[in-house]
Amino acid sequence: MGAGKSTVAKVFADRDAYLIDADKIAREVVAAGTPGLAALAQAFGDGIIGDDGELDRAALAAKAFADDESRATLNSITHPLIGARTSELLDAAPADAIVVQDIPLLVENHTAPFFHAVVVVNADVEVRVHRLVTSRGLDEGDARARIAAQATEEQRRAVADAWLDNSGEPEHLVEKAIALWDRRLVPYEVNVRSGIPAKPNPTLVAADPNPGSVGTRVTNRLWAIAGERATAVAVTSDTGAGADPVVSVQVTAKDAAAAAELPDLLRAGGFPSDGPGSFASADPGRPAAVSVVVGGTP
């Protein structure tokens, strides 16, 4: 919050990214006259609807965040609607698009493994507080409380494939975002679409925000891709921070039928074939080698 995520999303959109804004969707699904707003009114009372027919967000917050049960009720109404609309937008994306999902609570909702790459925009806490107070009109105490309720920097680094610091001048963030787009995201998309393993870019690899979590990130990503087709996903070797650091991971398919389905899923998920039974990362900033076995048999 207050780090500059929307600025980066705009930079990407200006370069023809297919942008899906989670906050915008969250507003759309409860706009005046929608089934979502009607469901909220049924759950929390007509008092949450203003004279203009739109959702009174302050009135909703007073009721929905009163306790855990009310918060769960709110989520049970809005989350399926947001998910369904997001799926519609994803289905409509062009085949060669770089889809950018602007999500405020990615870490808190534990959804990082379901994306090809996670870009985190960060800024020092004091900088963020200043922005929220001066630009958004928040009370300083409220701003600090909201920031404290979100994921910590350590938690964000653990899931980040790329890290953009925005503690300085805005133009510096724009420059970093453009460089990330040109040098990593565009080649990554081409590799995924073409089914080509990446040639690792040493500069990008060295810039990893948390080298110690690469194995976990790749493993979690592979679990998200394989799902119930796998019985195990484990790191078999990690060369660490060398000239050509590569994390090797083995996916154990539950049976031959599952193993036969995995190549197409791995290719679409960012790990195209690199030979019989072997696959490699399409991301030039995150080298990884993947092997698939069935019950211990390649």
Token pair recorded at residue 41? 């009114």
DSSP string, 191-223: HHHHT------HHHHHT-S-GGGHHHHHHHHHH
Return the CA Rg of the chain: 21
Are 48 and 59 in contact by the 8 Å Cβ rule? The answer is: yes
Question: What HEC string does 122-169 produce?
Answer: ECCHHHHHHHHHHHCCCCHHHHHHHHHHCCCHHHHHHHCCEEEECCCC
Residue 4 labelled as part of a binding site: yes
Sequence-ordered list of residues with C-beta below 8 angstroms from that of 8, at least 6 positions apart, any chain: 119, 121, 164, 173, 177
Are 85 and 25 in contact by the 8 Å Cβ rule? The answer is: yes
Residue 5 labelled as part of a binding site: yes
Residue 195 labelled as part of a binding site: no
Counted residue by residue, the chain has a size of: 298
Residue 3 labelled as part of a binding site: yes
Binding residues for ATP: 2-7
Binding residues: 2-7
